[in-house]
Structure 1
C-alpha cells in the first residue's frame, strides 16, 4: 500500500490571513497532496487576493455551493456575503471558479464539498427541529453517502472538524473551516454552527500499512484585522464569528 499524506482545506471564505497561516503550518508538517474542498471566496473579506493565492498554489479543488452561486447567479440575486465577494472579483478569478468540478476522485479517494450528490447538504451533521445540531447517525451517514464506496471520503460545508469511520470501514473527514469558525443558517430551520475559537482549521490524513490516521488541526492567527474588515463592511455577525468562534452569547 502506497504511503500518502493529504492535507485538506475547506471553507476559506476569503480569509487570506487564515489561509496563509494554514499554508505555513502544513508546509512545516509536510504533505504529498493538498486538496481544497470549496467555498473559497464568499464573504466580506479578501476574495480577490484569496483567489490569486489559491491559483498560485495550483491545489486540486472542488466547487462549493457559494462558489457556484458566484458564477451562476447575477449580482442582484446574490446574498450579501456572496455579493460582497463578487464585487471584488475580476474576469480571471471568475474564470478560475468555472473550472472547478463538483467532485474529485483519485483511486479510492473521493473529495466533495458537502455530500457526493449535493453541494449544499450536511453529511456528518443533522439539524434537529428547534435548531440543535448533532452528529449524524450511522444510518443517516450511509443514506447520504449513497452509492459512494471510496475508502476515504473528504467533505466540508458544515465548518465542523470531524473524522468518522463507518462500520464498512470508510473514513469520512471534514477538516472544518479555514476562514469562518461560526455561522448561522436557516435551512432546514434556524441553527448555529460554532467551533468556539477563532482559529483556522484544516486536517492531515495519512495512509500507512496500518490504515488511515487523521489529525484535525487548529492554527492560531491574528484574526483581528479580518474581524475589523468584516465590521467595516457592515457584517457585524461575521466580525463576532471571526473574533470568537461563536455567533453571539
Structure 2
C-alpha cells in the first residue's frame, strides 16, 4: 500500500514548506496530498504554489484559496489578500482556480474543513468559553454519507487523529505554515499548536488498519517571522515565532 504525506495550510510559508519537503525526501513517501490554504499570507505565496503544483499528487482548495477568485469589495480586501493577488502569476492562479473542494483517492476522502464546508472545523467545536474536541455524534453528522475509511482535513491548523466507533479514522496533519492564529467566528477564539514547528503527517494502511505518523519539523521560523513583520503583519510574526496566539491580535 502507498504511503501518503498529508500537507495542509501552508499559507505561503516558503521556509516551512521547504523544510517539510526536505524531511519528506528521507521518508519514502509515495504520494502527497495537499489539503488547501496553500498561499494566503504575506510570505512567499507564488513560490509555494509553484512547488506544490510540482510535488502534490492531489491538491484541493481551502477557503482562503477560494476567496482569491471571488468578488471581494475593496474595503474588505485585507493586507494578505492584496499581497497574494499581487504576487501570484498566471500559472499559479490557474493551478489554484482548478482545484476541487474535495477529492477521493483510494480509500481516502480529502476535504479542507468538512465535506460540505471549507470554513467549518471538522474536529473542533468553538464555544464562548474556548475550543473543544467535537463529540463523536457531531463529527458523524458532518461526515454523513462519506464511506471512505480515512478522512483527512485541515483548516484548524491543529494536528489531530480521531478514531470513530464505526472504524473510520480522521486525520488533520496540522499546519505546515502557520502554527497559531485568532479568529472571531463563530465566537472569538484562538487556535495554537504551542510551538513554531512546521507540521505534517504520513498515513499508511496495513493489516492492522491505518497507521498515522505526525511530524513537527524545525526550520528558520525567526526568518519567516522577520518577513511577516517587514510586510506589515506583526501578529503573524508572533504566531510564527511562538506557535501561540491571543484574542486581541
Match of 1:236 in 2: 234
Match of 2:5 in 1: 7
- Are 1:83 and 2:82 matched, yes or no? yes
**1:5, distance to aligned residue in structure 2 (A):** 1.1
Partners in 2 of 1:200 and 1:17 — Cα distance? 9
Match of 1:57 in 2: 55
Q: Which runs of 4+ in 1 moved over 6 A?
A: none
TM-score normalised according to structure 1 size: 0.95
**1:58, distance to aligned residue in structure 2 (A):** 4.3
- Are 1:188 and 2:198 matched, yes or no? no
Partners in 2 of 1:73 and 1:23 — Cα distance? 34
**1:202, distance to aligned residue in structure 2 (A):** 0.1
Partners in 2 of 1:107 and 1:244 — Cα distance? 37
TM-score normalised according to structure 2 size: 0.95
Match of 2:121 in 1: 122
**1:82, distance to aligned residue in structure 2 (A):** 2.2
1:105-159 deviation line (CA, Å, top 9, x unaligned)? 12321111111111110000001113x0111111111111121121010000000
**1:56, distance to aligned residue in structure 2 (A):** 2.3
Q: CA RMSD in A?
A: 1.4
**1:226, distance to aligned residue in structure 2 (A):** 1.1
Partners in 2 of 1:216 and 1:73 — Cα distance? 37
Match of 1:97 in 2: 96
Number of aligned positions between the proteins? 246
Partners in 1 of 2:110 and 2:56 — Cα distance? 16
Runs of 5+ consecutive residues of structure 1 not aligned to the other structure: none
Partners in 1 of 2:164 and 2:2 — Cα distance? 21
Partners in 2 of 1:215 and 1:90 — Cα distance? 35
1:207-235 deviation line (CA, Å, top 9, x unaligned)? 01111111111000011111011111111
SS at match of 1:42: coil
